[in-house]
């Protein structure tokens, strides 16, 4: 892949995800993980992008082989659990439960003219609480400090998925 | 003060923040590459030290001292 991409070729990633929707390989998607958090917070270092998708194929594979095959035909490379565009790793993760709701409720945005969706902050916090690694707890703290949160929505999500914020 | 600065950063446009993250990644890669080069230089230096110690076994013997005594 040529060096035509910046360090984070996010517009290319989102365009590719939109193509997957158009091709019927996925129903819907949203940007999750650290890059979704950065939509709301200060920039932090991250080394990959997480695309959370609602599968068209409801079998166990969630249509991932077809997604990989489609992206590889567009020049993407596979390296372990990541697909690489240029040298930038992207994870395509099938949504279910909380993450599926997060995709459904995601915020429509434009990135360099490409339409996309980003997880809402309340869902980023709830997902971080459900995963619970150190970096997730740091993300919760950062979101609560820097982002205006819909407290009622967050409490509702936490209650419905039996989650708790740290120190609560 | 620091928190205010971080909140100001949070309000920058998404594209600008992603560009900054890209710069952080590039910087991190450069630092790792430099560290790797330093490590190679250290290996070379250690190699020289090792060579000296091996050669020293021959150079620092009494026969060698006697041979060079008249210089």
Look up the ipTM and state it: 0.85
pLDDT of B58 higher than 60 = no
Work out the average pLDDT over A102-131. Answer: 97
pLDDT class for B61, splitting at 50, 70, 90? Answer: low
For residue A71, pLDDT beyond 50: yes
**Token pair of B7 as six digits:** 């909140």
Is the separation of the CB atoms in A117 and A31 below 8 Å?
Answer: yes
Q: What percent of chain A has pLDDT over 90?
A: 81
Nearest-angstrom CA–CA distance, B20 and A119? 21
The answer to whether the CB of A117 falls within 8 A of the CB of A106 is yes
> CA angle at residue A138 from A143 to B18, to 5 degrees?
60
* In the predicted structure, residue A120 carries a pLDDT above the cut 90: yes
Q: Does B66 contact chain A (CB < 8 Å)?
A: no
Residue B50 pLDDT exceeds 60: no
Contacts of A10 (CB under 8 A, 6+ apart): A35, A49, A111, A112, B18
Rounded to two decimals, what is the model's pTM? 0.79
CA distance A143 to chain B (A): 10
User: Average pLDDT, stretch A34-44?
Assistant: 96
B33 touches A: beta carbon within 8 Å: no
- Greater pLDDT, B8 or A100: A100
Which residue among A8, A41, A146 sits closest to B22, beta carbon to beta carbon? A8
The yes-or-no verdict on residue A116 having pLDDT over 90 is yes
- Residue B14 in contact with partner chain A when CB distance is under 8 A: yes
**For residues B14 and A111, is the Cβ–Cβ distance under 8 A?**
yes
Q: Say if residue A117's pLDDT is above 90.
A: yes
- Please tell me the distance in Å from A50's CA to the nearest CA on chain B: 14
B30 has a chain A CB within 8 A of its CB: no
Q: What is the mean pLDDT of chain B?
A: 72
Strand order in the sheet with A26-32: A77-79, A82-85, A88-94, A49-55, A26-32, A114-118, A107-111
Confidence of residue B67 (pLDDT cuts 50, 70, 90): low
Q: How many CA atoms lie within 13 A of A50 on its CB side?
A: 18
Of A154-158, B7-11, B24-28, which one has max mean pLDDT?
Answer: A154-158
- B41: tokens are 């230089």
Residue A46 per-residue DSSP state: -
> Does residue A25 surpass a pLDDT of 60?
yes
């Amino acid at each position: 892949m040529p060096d035509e991409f910046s360090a984070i070729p996010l517009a290319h990633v989102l365009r590719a995800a939109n193509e997957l929707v158009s091709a019927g390989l996925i129903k819907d998607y949203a940007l999750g993980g650290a890059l979704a958090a950065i939509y709301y917070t200060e920039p932090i270092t991250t080394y990959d992008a997480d695309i959370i998708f609602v599968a068209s194929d409801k079998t166990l594979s969630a249509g991932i082989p077809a997604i990989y095959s489609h992206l590889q035909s567009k020049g993407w490379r596979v390296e372990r659990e990541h697909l690489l565009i240029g040298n930038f790793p992207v994870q395509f993760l099938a949504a279910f439960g909380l993450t599926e709701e997060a995709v459904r409720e995601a915020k429509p945005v434009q990135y360099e003219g490409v339409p996309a969706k980003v997880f809402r902050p309340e869902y980023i916090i709830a997902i971080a609480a459900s995963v619970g690694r150190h970096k997730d707890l740091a993300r919760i703290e950062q979101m609560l400090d820097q982002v205006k949160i819909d407290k009622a929505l967050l409490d509702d999500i936490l209650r419905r998925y039996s989650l708790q914020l740290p120190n609560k | 003060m620091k928190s205010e600065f971080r909140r100001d950063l949070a309000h920058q446009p998404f594209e600008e923040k992603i560009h900054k993250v890209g710069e952080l990644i590039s910087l991190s890669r450069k630092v790792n590459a430099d560290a790797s080069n330093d490590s190679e230089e250290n290996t070379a230096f250690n190699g020289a030290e090792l060579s000296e110690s091996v050669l020293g076994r021959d150079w620092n013997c009494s026969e060698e001292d006697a041979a060079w005594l008249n210089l």
